Amino acid sequence: MNTFVEIHVLQNFAPSNLNRDDTGAPKDALFGGTRRARVSSQCLKRSVRQHFNGLVNKNKLAGSNVAFRTKRILDAITNALIDMGRVGSEASEKARLALASIELSVKEDGKTEYLLFLGQREIGSIAEIIHSQWDTINAIEISAPEGKKTGKAKKLAAQNADPELKKALDKAFNGGKALDVALFGRMLADMPEKNQYAACQVAHAISTHAIDREFDFYTAVDDLKPEDTAGADMIGTVEFNSACFYRYAVVDWEKLVENLQDDNELGIKGLRAFLEGFVVAEPTGKQNTFAAHNPPEFVSVSIRKNGAPRNLANAFETAIRVKKGESLTKKSAEELVNKAKKLNAAFGNEGDTFILNLVDAKINGFGTEVNSLENLLENSMAKLKE
């Protein structure tokens, strides 16, 4: 039996540029034959991970339950070894050799070849292994023989390493009960057996309506310029739009608990943190320019069993259009509800839905309305525990 926790969010942003493409313009996409505003799933997941860090700073989540995505794993391990009483230069070299033993090479600048996504527990475990097996970690030849590729050098380094060290380090790469690794998964190119399949899928957010790009022409003046000198000292343009976004994510509850090494209590805590973060966290792109801090006004959470996930974006296949005096968010919410009810009638619906409805949309028995985000989370978690 699979239990899916789905969250649907409608969020109307004032003029903004939350997520830029390579030209600096707001990301967009064609959907239903019209141009829509878009915020990438990667951007949304990054916002949730930043929310996790905020919970850690408020002591609402343990620091050991979050991960780092970094090329600077050598520095993190070295600092942990220094905290254990090791000398900095020696600690760095031992860490470099230990990583080479499992084919994770560190370049001369102290960075790995690619970003690693590791839980803080994993980093701590690696440091403890190096600390406990300090004397067995000796210098080995890690440069490739003449004419050989770098990959050959990594394999040679691993072959010459202490087998017990390799075995211990191999066990350390277990996800470390890091919530963000468990939710969003990871790929380790040199250690594919340590990849973790994501328990969560996040859709690209799209606007419920068609959009056109707009341009803000700006000028800046040198404050110390002589008064008799006319003209701007800097000019430019910033692209932006204003959009009501439909955002969707689904979490496979059983997979989340599995990724957290069957820690059901941490799963509940992590899922709640994710749902909260998905609602309150927002992309930071160009916010100093636009300050588009607009909370969602329609949120639906469904706990569904024995079914398949249902992204409701097709509620907006035909772009929403409103008349003078109508609420874009309210009309979008009612279209969302209508699509959900049609799919429930056609394919069944074994589950419960809780709705935070700040736009007074007609939900026509679609779910149970609550009056706050706290109640939405409490009701959802209580239903999951049943």
Tens-digit pLDDT profile for residues 74-115: 999 999 999 998 988 899 999 998 988 888 888 889 999 899
Burial (Cβ within 10 Å: 0-12, 13-18, ≥19) of residue 164: exposed
User: Which pLDDT does position 139 carry in this prediction?
Assistant: 66
Return the structure tokens found at 128: 């403890």
Residues 113 and 259 in one domain: no
What is the CB-side half-sphere exposure of residue 153 using CA atoms within 13 A?
A: 17
Give the phi and the psi of residue 35 in degrees, each rounded to 5: -75, 130
For strand 3-16 and strand 351-357, is the pairing parallel, antiparallel, or unpaired?
A: unpaired
What is this structure's pTM? 0.90
Residues 345 and 282 in one domain: yes
Residues 354 and 222 in one domain: yes
Residues 279 and 239 in one domain: yes
Is 95 within a domain?
Answer: yes
Residues 237 and 306 in one domain: yes
Whole-angstrom Cα distance, residue 158 to residue 152?
10
Is 134 within a domain?
Answer: yes
Question: Which of 177, 208, 231 is the last residue in one of the domains?
Answer: 177
Residues 210 and 301 in one domain: yes
| CA dist list (Å): 372 to 164, 235, 305, 355, 361 | 54, 45, 25, 9, 16
Residues 9 and 134 in one domain: no
Is 182 within a domain?
Answer: no
* 45 Cβ contact partners less than 8 Å away, ≥ 6 residues apart: 184, 202
Residues 250 and 205 in one domain: yes
Nearest CA to 253 among 381, 163, 106?
381
User: Which pLDDT does position 158 carry in this prediction?
Assistant: 62
Return the structure tokens found at 271: 């899922």
User: Which pLDDT does position 230 carry in this prediction?
Assistant: 79
User: Which pLDDT does position 213 carry in this prediction?
Assistant: 87
Burial (Cβ within 10 Å: 0-12, 13-18, ≥19) of residue 62: middle
Burial (Cβ within 10 Å: 0-12, 13-18, ≥19) of residue 84: middle
User: Which pLDDT does position 142 carry in this prediction?
Assistant: 47
Whole-angstrom Cα distance, residue 326 to residue 344?
27
Nearest CA to 354 among 330, 329, 311, 383?
383
Q: Which residues in 217-234 are b (16+ Cβ under 10 Å) and which e?
A: eeeeeeeeeeeeeeeeee
Is 185 within a domain?
Answer: no
Is 32 within a domain?
Answer: yes
Question: Which of 177, 212, 247 is the last residue in one of the domains?
Answer: 177
Is 256 within a domain?
Answer: yes
Q: List, for the chain, all residue ranges whose pLDDT scores fall below the cut of 70.
A: 1, 139-160
Domain hosting 214: range is: 3-55+198-385
Residues 209 and 324 in one domain: yes
Nearest CA to 278 among 306, 255, 249?
249
Residues 209 and 144 in one domain: no
Residues 237 and 345 in one domain: yes
Nearest CA to 193 among 175, 210, 179?
175
DSSP state of 359: S
Residues 9 and 31 in one domain: yes
Q: Give the count of beta carbons closer than 10 Å to the beta carbon of residue 362.
A: 12
Whole-angstrom Cα distance, residue 308 to residue 306?
7
User: Which pLDDT does position 144 carry in this prediction?
Assistant: 47
Is 62 within a domain?
Answer: no
CB 214, CB 240: distance < 8 Å: yes
Nearest CA to 243 among 174, 138, 316, 135?
316
pLDDT in tens, 236-255: 889 999 999 999 999 999 99
How many domains in the chain?
2
CB 171, CB 115: distance < 8 Å: no
Is 362 within a domain?
Answer: yes
